[in-house]
Structure 1
Amino acid sequence: MANKFDTRFPSIDDLRKRAQKKIPKFAFEYLDGGCNEDVNLKRNTSELREVQLRPNYLRKHKGSSLKTKLFGVEYDAPFGIAPVGLQGLMWPNSSEILAKAAFQHNIPFILSTVTTTSIERASELTEGKAWFQLYHPTENKLRDDIIKRAESAECPVLVILCDVPTFGFRPRDIRNGLAMPPKMNLNNILQVFGRPEWALETLKYGQPGFETLKPYMPKGLDLKQLGKFMDQTFSGRLNEEKIKPIRDMWKGKLVLKGVASDYDTEEAIRLGLDGIIVSNHGGRQLDAGESTVKPLTSIAEKYGEQIEVMMDSGIRSGPDVARAMASGAKFTFMGRSFMYGVSALGKRGGNHTISLLKTELQQVMEQICCEKTTDFPNHLIK
């Protein structure tokens, strides 16, 4: 697909600023914030941007290709759309907008258990190419049913999440009434009146809900009951006893997201997983943790031949993708960058953001004379 983007917004930061003006404050802060004092949120990007690449200008160069193979599938770029919860809160119908754009550009789209489009709808929009990320249910029956639905929807990859044993402490969300149980206060209602386009789109598509979970939710839940339902239904703490049955049941590729240590990487390999995503949940869980690029470098060097090592958290641009791949990632994912794009530009936001990132990354590759994405580590200045 041609990489055409709106030249009024030639960076992710431009989209972020535009998004802040387009959506209510409570929705923007839910998207934009980390946890506690936002230390690790900022460190994710700042430390990634300390990575430097070496150009080889006089080398014979035949051209650069973004095409990248992952799990036997050739994608048109080495990045995909990370799972994001409650996407429809930030921009109505945004999960469908992004799923369609990912399919058109031939990059992966990962659907979250707690976002606002169902497994079946995401599969329909991507012709069975959408990945699915599972929040681990407390009951085996529910776990098995959701996994069977993902299998029936032909999801090629199941992603299980290990970095949410507890929900991060997020002061912005608490002030805005978006903690569990959520509540809509007068201030939030006034913010909605100040964002008429967002309000009209929300009226058009309806109040966002957890579409994948609707078959399991009692009808007529109020917000307090919703919080109780979520607490009772999901347990984010993974261990060997929880992963083994999933590995036995799931015949496709199985990926562990949220890895930040050698120990968890070794466990993933031992339990027969196909890939890991080195991630700290976008800095939304542990403010006192490392930036994602720090463990990535070590993990990729030690285990990159045994398991597919991917990365998300802190990646905001084409050069950031290049830095992550030079540091050892075989593939990368972004969440906020795409949500800024859709929140800023609505239906055009998915295609715009993917095209912008492709254009930026292509320029980096041509500049440093890197022909294939697998060659990025050869350009890393250590």
Structure 2
Amino acid sequence: MNPELLKYNPQYPSVQDLKKKAKQRIPKFAFDYLEGGCNDELNLWRNEADFRDIQLIPRYLKKHRGVDMRTELFGHVYDAPFGISPIGLQGLMWPNAPVILAKAARKHNIPYILSTVSTASIEEIAEVAGSQFWFQLYHPTENKLRDDILRRLDAVECPVLVVLVDVPSFGLRYREIKAGLSMPPKITINNFIQAALRPAWSVEFLKAGMPTFATLKPYMGKDLDIKQLGKFMNATFTGRVDSEKIKAIRDLWKGKLVIKGVVCDEDMEESIRLGADGVIVSNHGGRQIDAGESTIKPLKGLADSYGDKMTIMIDSGLRSGPDIGRSLACGAKFTFMGRPFMYGVSALGKQGGDHTIALLKAQLKQVMEQVCCEQVGDFPTALASS
């Protein structure tokens, strides 16, 4: 067992263990929101399954001088080649989850991306996460709101803005609809019963109070709360983020600009033309289009064609250190994960962020030793031919 992992909780040495514990600790409606995909959840399944087809070559006779996971990205050297993806409504799944994860990201020197629809504000997370703070923008329908969010990000010196482009409409997620978390959300007797069956979650929820959309609160009007999410989101954020909108942001934003949701050559070429600093190959965790490809499928082709012109990252489907290694072997510069970290926090509370980071580092280190990679940039040499 890795000694770093022993400092936390050795009963949960894998993300799967954390997932099982999370399911036991949080209400079903919260777990379904975290776990669910759109429509029949086929792309959710593909995201994970297709990683299993990527094989690496172990090398044992070559001299190996140790493992260095440090990765330079946009002028900052992170301690590992993975970060924490944005997830909306984090405080619904576990109270104060954004702060717990942002603190862990800062402690372990990895990026934390705050969602526009998370339950902590730009200002709070910027203070907690420091230079590890990134922000994901749901593009508003009104430019005035967009400009004010960018002003707030500039004021806290956010180094990286991630513009989400894969939500021209909201995915049909059947689990959320059945749980009453449809658009607009509903409070049901079943949700109350589910909460009562999870006393640890209920106690923390009562301590923290009802989560609010803290970043959006100044724009939502007085006395609006979580129950108005659907109506507010539909009126304020629904719409296609096209090249014209990206260009306007590029002209306004002086920091690093990343476009999230790129999965095809056409969008990659347009991202380069628009002056983006990076892209995240992503399908929103299988929550937007069920008929699409998994993210690992197009990654290698995109990296081979555009890796010398663009910083290419990936999220959606990664669940382990081996998956991080597979992504790096296929040409990703960096990786992001959302659900694994929420499993960790939901399972272990305040300890969850530290523990999840530690176990992913331990798994990745073991893989690097097996395939004889001393640095994360060596991973492409370990990719087995298909």
**Bin of the TM-score, shorter chain as denominator length:** over 0.9
Q: What is aligned with 2:103? A: 100
CA–CA separation in structure 2 for the residues paired with 1:223 and 1:358:
35
Match of 2:57 in 1: 54
1:169 to 168, 172, 176: 172
Q: Using the alignment, how far apart are the partners of 2:243 and 2:369 within structure 1?
A: 44
Map of 2:140 onto structure 1? 137
Does residue 346 (structure 1) correspond to residue 349 (structure 2)? The answer is: yes
SS of 2:87's partner is coil
Q: Which amino acid aligns with 1:307?
A: M
Equivalent of 1:159 in 153, 157, 162: 162
Contact 2:341 2:352 in 1 (8 A): yes
- Alignment root-mean-square deviation, CA: 1.2
- Confirm whether residue 23 of structure 1 aligns to residue 26 of structure 2: yes
* Residue of structure 2 equivalent to 1:319: 322
> Which amino acid counterpart does residue 230 of structure 2 have in structure 1?
G
Tell me the number of residue pairs that the alignment of Structure 1 and Structure 2 aligns. 382
User: Do the aligned residues in 2 keep the contact of 1:319 with 1:364 (CA within 8 Å)?
Assistant: yes
**Cα separation, partners in 2 of 1:128 and 1:224, compared to 1, 3 Å:** same
Deviation by residue 1:256-298 (Cα, 9 ceiling, x = unmatched): 0011101110000000000000000001111110010011111
- Once the two structures are TM-superposed, the CA of residue 64 in structure 1 deviates from its matched residue by 1.2
TM-score, length-scaled by structure 2: 0.97
SS at match of 1:49: helix
Q: Which residue of 1 aligns with 2:41?
A: 38
Q: Which runs of 5+ in 1 are unaligned?
A: none
SS in 1 for 2:119: coil
What is the correspondence of 1:291-370 to structure 2 with a 5 Å cutoff?
A: 291-370=294-373
| 2:195 maps to 1:188 | no
In structure 2, what is the equivalent of residue 374 of structure 1? 377
Contact 1:183 1:223 in 2 (8 A): no
Q: Which residue in the other structure is 1:179 paired with?
A: 182
Aligned counterpart in structure 2 of residue 81 of structure 1, from 81, 84, 109: 84
SS at match of 1:339: helix
Which digits, 9 at most, give the CA deviation of each residue in 1:314-353, with x for residues without a partner? 0000001000110110000000000000000000000000
The letter of the residue matching 2:166 is D
Partner of 2:118: 115
Secondary structure of 1:356's aligned partner = helix
Q: One-letter code of the match for 1:362?
A: K
Q: Are 2:110 and 2:132, in contact at CA under 8 Å, matched by a contact in 1?
A: no
Q: Does 1:6 align with 2:24?
A: no
Task: Tell me if structure 1 keeps the 8 A contact 2:47–2:296.
Answer: yes
Percent pairwise identity = 63
Gaps spanning 5+ residues in structure 2: where? none
Structure 2 residue 282 is matched with structure 1 residue 282: no
1:222-254 per-residue CA deviation (whole Å, 9 max, x = no partner) reads: 666442222111134111111111001111100
Q: Distance in 2 between matches of 1:229 and 1:63?
A: 52
Distance 2:157 2:93 in 1: 28
Q: Secondary structure at the match of 2:132?
A: coil
Q: Structure 1 residue runs of 4+, over 6 Å off? A: none
Report deviation, 1:215: 0.7
CA distance in 2, matches of 1:317, 1:29: 21
Alignment partner, residue 250 of structure 2: 247
Post-superposition shift, 1:100? 0.2
Q: Please tell me whether the aligned partners of residues 95 and 205 of structure 2 are also in contact (alpha carbons under 8 angstroms).
A: yes
Supply the distance in 2 between the matched residues of 1:224 and 1:51 (Cα, whole angstroms): 42
Shift of 1:101: 0.2
